[in-house]
Amino acid sequence: MKARARPYDVKLRLAGLGIALGLCAVALVGRAAQMQLFDQDFYQHQGDARFLREVPIPTTRGMITDRNGEPLAVSTPVESVWANPKELLQHPDRLPDLAGALGLDADDLTQRVSQRSEKEFLYLRRHMNPDDAQAVIKLGIPGVYSQREFRRYYPHGEVMAHVLGFTNIDDRGQEGLELAFDSWLTGKPGAQKVIRDRRGRIVENVDLVRAAEPGKDLALSIDRRIQYLAYRELKSALVANNADSGSAVVVDVATGEILAMVNQPAYNPNSHESALPDAHRNRAVTDVIEPGSVIKPYTVAAALEAGVNPNIIIQTSPGTMMLGKYEIHDVHDHGAVNLTTLLATSSNIGAAKLGLGMSNEHLYDVLHRFGFGDSTHSGFPGESSGVLAPPNTWSMVQRGTISYGMGLSVTPLQLAQAYATLANGGRQMPLTFIKDGAGAGRQVIDPAIAHSLLGMLESVVAPGGTAPNAAITGYHVAGKTGTARQASGGGYAKRYVSVFAGVVPLDHPKFAMVVVISNPRGKSYFGSLVSGPVFHNVMDGALRLMDVPPDRIEQWYAQQPAVATDAVADDSDDAPPEVVVPATTAIDHSAVGAHR
């Protein structure tokens, strides 16, 4: 019997197949619907993730200006060209072109790219001029891209170098105020979602994740014009006196704001890599000197505070004195001196005798109150505190030498603060590099003592004082010279620092300025002749720039040339009044070397 498939079997099979196919279709449609309707986000994300990227939005570093809003440090846009090595290496024939447009050596470039062949990111050249970078991108080489960055530019170059410092290639502060205020100045880069095509080009901005926050601006206390004057005068004094290094600081007496701070040697912060590291130091803040005689006013202040009669007469003859087993000297025999002539002639013996008459603790206390031995807390990176040993360690000899400024060390900035404090009626203002940033002051000595010291120090710049060349026509000036041999290897070398510290005008003191010049090897090495003229030239200019009214009116008018002003003075054919310039000094500097 022949077995035949029965028709219902075929139908059954067909129906079975139909059902199976139908189920498949339903499953497929269902799955599609599931993917489309329910899992869409997941798949969208998976797809986009291959092309959707979060990219940073670059932002600027805050601008640094001087007290009048003049830009001192600005961020300029630059382009950094980078490559995706994997992609770029698929077109090795383009490498020579690329190297040419980047201004790089073709072999070096090939090597660098090959070394990172597995990576997706390599800077080819950073901080290019945007036009040059554009020319590179225009070559259309696959795997080559550019990115906006910002580069710091310092329009005043050397003049502001030490105060500002500089940033590194990633725009972070490395030295100076760029370092001290880095977090204030640094912006927060934003973030943006973008879709890139297969070649990495951005084809669509999707959404902003975070807006970029630019860094904050910083207005300094510095006055660019006074800074420039100080820079010019210090530099020319260094050249004229064949000196190694120097610093100058100008402080606003009433506020403690630092108006100018310059050093030599200097460097150009726009190309600081090429500078000697030695030129980087802001010596006014980081370096110490043995100050010598500019300390004497504080010894006198201590004596007055201890109740010494302001009219005391001190015998300094014969110009030498034994201090323990050491002999100390004055340049001349100044005979019997009062406190004013002690300062005007800068008698070491007079100062030592005053110091020996008080306790270690008292002299220390007064010096310390004026800020010696302590950081000024100016906030400048690397600030030195100087050295003032605790009084219980002082020998009698030390008390004597500290009284005339030997055996302690100070920074030029500390000296400037100490002179500003005298000029401010004994009220010490915190020093600051920030405009209007100073806090409240602190009275460190009786105003009457501060006042009488300023009077005595006026005699230093008067004819007969050590520094008549620091005098400024039309203004009352108080100041002090110092010439100190520098300690070296346990003795004192024939290396000097020449210092001048002064304040002007005495009626309403505005400026305190300190000038320190190290190792002058010219005709003279005296503070009066080396540093005094820098003080004179800078202050003379600054008084005019800041419109400080003269406080010595007769002298002021005497020096004004009798120019005919429009309407009035036609009938005056008188010669201008004779100008009397004090030109003589009682000290014969040429004799000093021989005396030693």
Provide φ and ψ at 419, rounded to 5°.
-70, -35
The Cα 300–Cα 367 span in angstroms is 11
The Cα 536–Cα 48 span in angstroms is 71
The Cα 24–Cα 30 span in angstroms is 9
Give 530: exposed, middle or buried? Use CB within 10 Å, 0-12, 13-18, 19+.
buried
Nearer to ligand 59J, 201 or 329 (CB): 329
With beta carbons less than 8 A apart as the criterion, state whether 283 and 247 touch.
yes
DSSP-derived 3-state class of residue 174: coil
- The nearest distance, CB 289 to ligand 59J, in angstroms, is 11
- The nearest distance, CB 392 to ligand 59J, in angstroms, is 20
Relative orientation angle of helices 296-305 and 360-369, to the nearest 10 degrees:
120
Tokens of 217: 């601006």
* Residue 576 DSSP symbol: P
DSSP sequence for 464-528: TSS-GGG-BTTB--EEEEEEEEEEETTEEEEEEEEEEEEEE-SSS--EEEEEEEE---SS---HH
DSSP-derived 3-state class of residue 446: coil
How are beta strands 218-219 and 64-65 bridged, if at all?
parallel
- The nearest distance, CB 260 to ligand 59J, in angstroms, is 23
- The nearest distance, CB 241 to ligand 59J, in angstroms, is 13
Nearer to ligand 59J, 326 or 557 (CB): 326
- The nearest distance, CB 535 to ligand 59J, in angstroms, is 12
Nearer to ligand 59J, 146 or 483 (CB): 483
- The nearest distance, CB 501 to ligand 59J, in angstroms, is 11
Nearer to ligand 59J, 293 or 417 (CB): 293
Tokens of 539: 């202050």
The Cα 182–Cα 173 span in angstroms is 5
Nearer to ligand 59J, 438 or 516 (CB): 516
- Between the two ends of the chain, the Cα-to-Cα distance in Å is 148
Q: How far is CA 191 from CA 54, 82, 89, 203, 407, in A?
A: 6, 19, 29, 16, 58
Residue 378 bears catalytic tag: no
Give 326: exposed, middle or buried? Use CB within 10 Å, 0-12, 13-18, 19+.
exposed
Give 278: exposed, middle or buried? Use CB within 10 Å, 0-12, 13-18, 19+.
exposed
How many other C-beta atoms are found inside a 10 Å radius of the C-beta of residue 399?
Answer: 21
Q: Which of 75, 80, 293, 459 is catalytic?
A: 293
Task: Enumerate binding residues for ligand 59J (CB under 6 A).
Answer: 292-293, 328, 331, 346, 348, 401, 406, 466, 481-485, 492, 526-528, 587, 592, 596
- The nearest distance, CB 522 to ligand 59J, in angstroms, is 14
- The nearest distance, CB 264 to ligand 59J, in angstroms, is 20
Nearer to ligand 59J, 225 or 296 (CB): 296
Nearer to ligand 59J, 198 or 596 (CB): 596
Tokens 């501060």, located at residue: 450
Nearer to ligand 59J, 264 or 401 (CB): 401
The Cα 258–Cα 413 span in angstroms is 9
- The nearest distance, CB 463 to ligand 59J, in angstroms, is 14
Nearer to ligand 59J, 25 or 591 (CB): 591
Instruction: Report CA dihedral (85, 88, 92, 95) to the nearest 10 degrees.
Output: -90
Active site residues: 293
